[in-house]
Structure 1
Amino acid sequence: MNNQPSLSAPASSDRSDFPDDCPDGLKPRLRLFFSVDLVGATHYKQSRNRWRPELLSFYRDFDFILQTEYRAFASNHTGRLSSLEFWKSNGDELLYACDLLCLSHAHGLMQVWLQALNRYQALHTPGAEHLDVKSTAWIGLFPVPNAEVFFRRGGGALDEGLARDALMVQSELRDEWYANAANPTITRDFIGPSIDTGFRLTGLATPRRLMLSVDLAFLLASGNGAGASPLNLRLSGKQRLKGVMDDQPYPVIWIPVDRDEWMCAELEPVVTDRELIRSFCKTVFELNYASVTPLFLEGERQSAFDWAPPYILKRIVRHWHEEVRNRDAITVPAAIAAG
Structure 2
Amino acid sequence: MTGNSDQADPHSLLFMSVDLVGSTSYKQQKGSDWPRKFLQFYREFPQALAEVQSDVSSVRFSMWKPIGDELIFTCRVNHEAEVVDAVRTWLAAMRQYEERSLSDVPLKTKGGAFIATFPGPDTQATAPLDPFTETSSRDVLDLNDDALRERDRDRFIYDYIGPSIDTGFRILSACDQRYFTMSIEVAWAFSWGVRGLQQKSPDIAYLGERDFKGVWGGRRYPVVAIDRQFEDAVNEAIRGMSSTAAVDVEALCKACLESEGWPSRMYLPKSDFAPFKRLPEDALREHRVRDVDGIENVATELVPAPANAEMSQLPMGDEDTTSEPGTTGTLPPAGSMPESSLA
Quick one: distance in 2 between partners of 1:240 and 1:317? 31
Residue 89 of structure 1 aligns with an amino acid whose one-letter code is: P
| 1:280 has 2:280 as partner | no
Residues 107 and 225, structure 1, Cα contact 8 Å, conserved in 2: no
Q: Which residue pairs with 2:54 in the alignment?
A: 71
Quick one: distance in 2 between partners of 1:250 and 1:266? 27
Residues 4 and 145, structure 2, Cα contact 8 Å, conserved in 1: no
Cα offset for 1:136? 0.8
Quick one: distance in 2 between partners of 1:199 and 1:250? 13
Cα offset for 1:206? 1.2
Q: Which residue pairs with 1:293 in the alignment?
A: 264
Cα offset for 1:281? 2.0
Written as runs of structure 1 = structure 2, the 5 A alignment for 1:173-252 is 173-177=147-151, 183-224=153-194, 229-231=199-201, 232-252=203-223
Residues 150 and 187, structure 1, Cα contact 8 Å, conserved in 2: yes
Residue 30 of structure 1 aligns with an amino acid whose one-letter code is: S
Residues 30 and 296, structure 1, Cα contact 8 Å, conserved in 2: yes
Quick one: distance in 2 between partners of 1:266 and 1:208? 16
| 1:99 has 2:87 as partner | no
Quick one: distance in 2 between partners of 1:123 and 1:326? 60
Cα offset for 1:45? 1.6
Quick one: distance in 2 between partners of 1:330 and 1:97? 41
CA distance change for structure 1 residues 209 and 90 in 2, over 3 Å: closer, same or farther? same
Residues 181 and 225, structure 2, Cα contact 8 Å, conserved in 1: yes
Quick one: distance in 2 between partners of 1:327 and 1:173? 22
Quick one: distance in 2 between partners of 1:42 and 1:35? 18
CA distance change for structure 1 residues 326 and 216 in 2, over 3 Å: closer, same or farther? farther
Quick one: distance in 1 between partners of 2:179 and 2:271? 29
CA distance change for structure 1 residues 144 and 270 in 2, over 3 Å: closer, same or farther? farther
Cα offset for 1:174? 1.7
Residue 130 of structure 1 aligns with an amino acid whose one-letter code is: P
Aligned match for 1:318, one of 247, 270, 286:
286
CA distance change for structure 1 residues 154 and 296 in 2, over 3 Å: closer, same or farther? same
Cα offset for 1:67? 2.0
- Identical positions, percent: 25
Q: Higher relative contact order by CA 8 Å / sep ≥ 6: 1 or 2?
A: 1
Residues 295 and 340, structure 2, Cα contact 8 Å, conserved in 1: yes
Q: Which residue pairs with 1:9 in the alignment?
A: none
| 1:154 has 2:127 as partner | no
CA distance change for structure 1 residues 302 and 227 in 2, over 3 Å: closer, same or farther? closer
Residue 105 of structure 1 aligns with an amino acid whose one-letter code is: E
Cα offset for 1:155? 4.4
Residue 191 of structure 2 aligns with an amino acid whose one-letter code is: A
Give unpaired runs (5+ residues) of structure 2.
297-337
Residues 15 and 115, structure 2, Cα contact 8 Å, conserved in 1: yes
Cα offset for 1:31? 1.2
Residue 32 of structure 2: SS of its match in structure 1? coil
Residues 296 and 306, structure 1, Cα contact 8 Å, conserved in 2: yes
Q: Which residue pairs with 1:24 in the alignment?
A: 5
Q: Which residue pairs with 2:33 in the alignment?
A: 50
CA distance change for structure 1 residues 196 and 100 in 2, over 3 Å: closer, same or farther? same
Q: TM-score scaled to structure 1, two decimals?
A: 0.75
Please list the CA deviations of residues 133-177 of structure 1 after superposition, one character each: whole Å capped at 9, or x if unmatched: 110101111222222111233347446332xx3333222212222
Give unpaired runs (5+ residues) of structure 1.
1-20, 335-339
Residue 254 of structure 1: SS of its match in structure 2? strand
Q: Which is worse superposed, 210-219 or 259-268? A: 259-268
Cα offset for 1:106? 1.1
CA distance change for structure 1 residues 62 and 225 in 2, over 3 Å: closer, same or farther? farther
How many equivalent pairs are there? 296
Cα offset for 1:254? 0.5
CA RMSD of aligned residues (A): 3.1
